[in-house]
Amino acid sequence: MTAWLVIVSVGVGTYIFRSVLFVMIGDRALPAWTDRPLSYVGPAAIAALVGGSLLVEQGRFSPAPGGDLVAVVTTFVFVQRTRNVALGLVIGFAVLWCFAVPGYAG
């Protein structure tokens, strides 16, 4: 029971710590100069996650198999040209699936 009490206490404490900022400034508008940098947060986070999963394994540089890289590049180019992220993901998954077909020696 003590371990669960610690886990719940840490969870509640973390939630309160993180939500205080939103409660304090939630009703205020952010300055105009923050709009442009904040627009890059989402793409930077996704790039870090995808890049890390494709290029690093167990802390060492280890590029992913060719099919993964082809799917990522295809998705990136598609989204850049069409600005349609949802359809880009569908296209990327389709390309990845084509490389994952059993018997394919790519």
Span 38-57, pLDDT tens digits: 889 988 888 888 888 888 87
Reduce the DSSP state of residue 38 to 3 states and report it: helix
Confidence at residue 15, expressed as pLDDT on a 0 to 100 scale? 94
Helix locations, 26-84, DSSP H: 35-39, 41-55, 66-82
Confidence at residue 3, expressed as pLDDT on a 0 to 100 scale? 92
Confidence at residue 101, expressed as pLDDT on a 0 to 100 scale? 64
Over range 15-29, report the average pLDDT. Answer: 87
Span 54-106, pLDDT tens digits: 888 787 887 777 788 888 889 999 999 998 989 999 999 999 888 876 655 55
How far is the C-alpha of 73 from the C-alpha of 31, rounded, in Å?
35
Token pair 């099919």 is found at: 67
One-letter amino acid of 69: L
pTM: 0.54
Task: Report the residue count for the chain.
Answer: 106
Token pair 């509640």 is found at: 12
Confidence at residue 53, expressed as pLDDT on a 0 to 100 scale? 80
